[in-house]
Amino acid sequence: MSDIRSICVYCGSGAGENPAYADAARRFGALLADNDVRLVYGGGGLGLMGTVARAVLESGGEVLGIIPEFLKSREHMLRDVQDLIVTEDMHHRKRLMFENADAFVALPGGIGTLEELVEMLTWGQLGQHTKPVIIANIDGFWEPLLGLLNEMEREGFIRPGLMATYQVASEAEDILPLIHAELDRRKDGSDNGALIGKL
């Protein structure tokens, strides 16, 4: 099985209305800790971001928070993590989150989460990385985005040579197995990296 050391989780700085989101964030945080996978995240203490980070810490896991200076108080920077990096700006934050992770997971969230997820999809599409990107479609939260991606493919905007490579998980428990399977497939060479999310 592939070795995954760090996973970057993008998720809301709010909790969302559906309690299933926080529940999934908590369960995924505990799973990261149980599997000795470090959480890399945006460093905040609010919403799903705070929930996933606290769940990792409560289960004895390791967390790297990366937050820009101007958000330290606004997003209630979590101080009791093992590693904390304060960056000058958002661009540096995103770059470091990217560099420090072996895979990316988007739990439910807002515009920030969407932007970070889409950026990883575009970088992958342009061949800038081959790290797995998992869309955690908890209670169908990401259905509208999956529909739009499907539409882009139908309309020929996402097309051979410019494929969007991602996997869709419906439960927190599906995420790590999907990442392992994806990494194993790439290692075997049985997939040439053109794996497309099931739309």
Note whether 182 binds ligand AMP by CB under 6 A: no
* Nearer to ligand AMP among residue 52 and residue 103 (C-beta): 52
* Residue 83 C-beta: closest distance to ligand AMP, Å: 17
Contact status: 16 vs ligand AMP (CB under 6 A): no
Q: Is 189 exposed, middle or buried (0-12, 13-18, 19+ CB in 10 A)?
A: exposed
Neighbouring C-alpha atoms within 13 Å toward the C-beta of 39: 35
Q: Quick one: which segment of 12-20, 26-34, 146-154, 171-179 binds ligand AMP (CB under 6 A)?
A: 12-20
Stretch that binds ligand AMP, among 28-36, 108-116, 154-162, 171-179 (CB under 6 A): 108-116
Assess 42 for contact with ligand AMP (CB under 6 A).
Answer: yes
SS3 at position 64: strand
What is the closest distance, in whole angstroms, from the C-beta atom of residue 93 to ligand AMP in the complex? 7
3-state secondary structure of 45: coil
Nearer to ligand AMP, 13 or 167 (CB): 13
CB of 29 to ligand AMP, least distance (A): 16
Looking at residue 32, its amino acid is L
